[in-house]
Chain A
Amino acid sequence: MEKHIVTNYDLDLDQCKTMIGEMSIYIDKLLVDVVGLVSSKNTNLINGIFRTEEEINKLEKKLRLFTLNVLSKRQPMADDLRAVLITLKISGILERIADHLVNITKKIDHQIKIPEYFSSKMDLEALGKLVSENFSTVINLYKEPSNEVAKEVLRKDMLCNELFSEICKKNLDDISKNNEQKECKFFIEINFIAKEFERIGDLVKNISKEVRYSISGKVR
């Protein structure tokens, strides 16, 4: 893309990308910590997770003000307009992803003993890791748009959905086979956590839709 006549305009658009990049680094960290918390129940991670979420919220506000300033100052058109609009939308999505990750952290009851017959543990960890991996993929897509990478994000999101269904099914099987009513709370918690991960997967897919819109200019 050729440069603008006004150099600061290019700097403003670059800054939009940089700020999304900063937010995504925090989300990456949050994903690693939350997946770690889910698999290891390492409570030392909890305070760090809340602090990271606060940083993300601050960045989201800063980015919102910055993009509003760009809109009013530059009145962008065409692909520039789409770039600023998706920055605004993606920052909102990132903030929502952080909320879901904090929800997972809050849902984990560290007092509950894990039942021995719990069979979807590996699937839950795999779901968390897959969502985390897909997030990295979509951020790469944002930095360097490509149809191939966009398809890869969709493919991984479908895998996330399949894993989520698998976890729900296994949990139901575990409950019905073992008929341990006192363990119900544990399985409900696992289902909620899996649902949060699945929702994050959807949000990651939404980022890919925004990037595709910015390339094509077509609302799908």
Chain B
Amino acid sequence: MVSKKKIKVLTKRVSVFYGDKQAIKDVNLEIYENQVTSLIGPSGCGKSTFLRCINRMNDTIDICRITGKVLIDNDDIYKATLDPVLLRARVGMVFQKPNPFPKSIFDNVAYGPQIHGLTNSKEELEDLVVNSLQKAGLFNEVKDRMNESGTSLSGGQQQRLCIARAIAVSPEIILMDEPCSALDPIATAVIEELIDELMQNYTIVIVTHSMQQAARVSQQTAYFHMGNLIEFGETSKIFQNPKNKQTQDYITGRIG
């Protein structure tokens, strides 16, 4: 039985320029709802730049210019009437290095809902924080020290705190830019397990340098090289029998 996948994010001929340098070239890509899509490719291939197009993080770079269309639920996220701050609540982001605020664990998670006015009472906010920490698989480890600083946690716990912070504003999409690159194998395994669970409720796009991680966590994989999208398809096919020689050479370790 073939189940029809719903497209959550659609990019049409997306190009990104840093000044005169073109970092992304005419990329057309479909990202499916409630699936994990991995972006892989050598350093400097444009995968993080492409990821940052999905929540307009590139807007914060003065010399950056984007052409083409990025649609979420068929809605152009680069249209003039769209507020990027609200967009970033819909499209959360987790970075390579865990970056908790220098605040308490509770405040780290509560900050987003507070500035977006998502709760009406203290109790509601507390429930939301607990719920987010539970979804991020961190609550049991921190429930007795919610007032301690977020930066006092281990690297893996800090990363899950950042995921809880992203979840707290009820995003539809979570972008992850090498979320495990600073973590040990155990913390990585916990995050990967979490990604599996989060997929039920969120659409996830992850940039990773680990082929094995891409193979383990994602259903779709896109291979980028020098700003071009070389191959996109089901992860199992990409890693077992890629169509394109460039993809094959990269995933088998024949090019850098």
Contacts and interface: CB of A to CB of B under 8 A. Distances in A.
Contacts of A81: 239-240
Contacts of A4: 252-254
A77 B251 contact: yes
Given A75-B211, A78-B248, A79-B248, A217 B240 contact: yes
A80 interface: yes
B256 A5 contact: yes
B254 A3 contact: yes
Nearest to A77: B251
A95 B38 CA distance: 41
A9 interface: yes
B81 interface: no
A9 B242 contact: no
B117 to A, nearest CB: 47
A13 B226 CA distance: 29
B73 interface: no
Interface string A70-99: 000001111111100000000000000000
A159 B56 CA distance: 67
- Please tell me the size bucket of the interface on B: 10 to 19
Contacts of B249: 2
B216 to A, nearest CB: 11
Interface string B236-251: 0001111000001101
Contacts of B255: 2, 5
Interface in A163-213: none
Task: Bin the interface of chain A by size.
Answer: 10 to 19
A186 to B, nearest CB: 51
A79 B212 contact: no
A218 interface: yes
Given A2-B254, A9-B253, A77 B241 contact: no
B251 A78 contact: yes
A6 interface: yes
A15 B253 CA distance: 18
Contacts of B256: 5
B254 A5 contact: yes
Interface centre among A4, A78, A216, A218 (most CB of B within 10 A): A78
Nearest to B239: A77
B185 to A, nearest CB: 13
A6 B255 CA distance: 10
Interface string A41-78: 00000000000000000000000000000000001111
Contacts of A1: 254
A1 B256 CA distance: 16
Contact of B211 (A2, A9, A77, A217): A77
Contacts of A2: 249, 254-255
**Residue picked from B211, B249, B252, B256, most chain A C-beta under 10 Å:** B252
A5 to B, nearest CB: 5
Contacts of A9: 253
B241 A217 contact: yes
A42 B241 CA distance: 50
A5 B248 contact: no
A78 B242 contact: yes
A75 B211 CA distance: 9
Contacts of B241: 78, 82, 216-218
A-B interface, 6 closest residue pairs, ranked by CB to CB distance from nearest:
A217-B241, A77-B251, A2-B254, A80-B252, A4-B253, A78-B248
Interface of B: 211-212, 215, 239-242, 248-249, 251-256
6 contacts: A4-B254, A75-B212, A76-B252, A77-B211, A77-B239, A79-B248
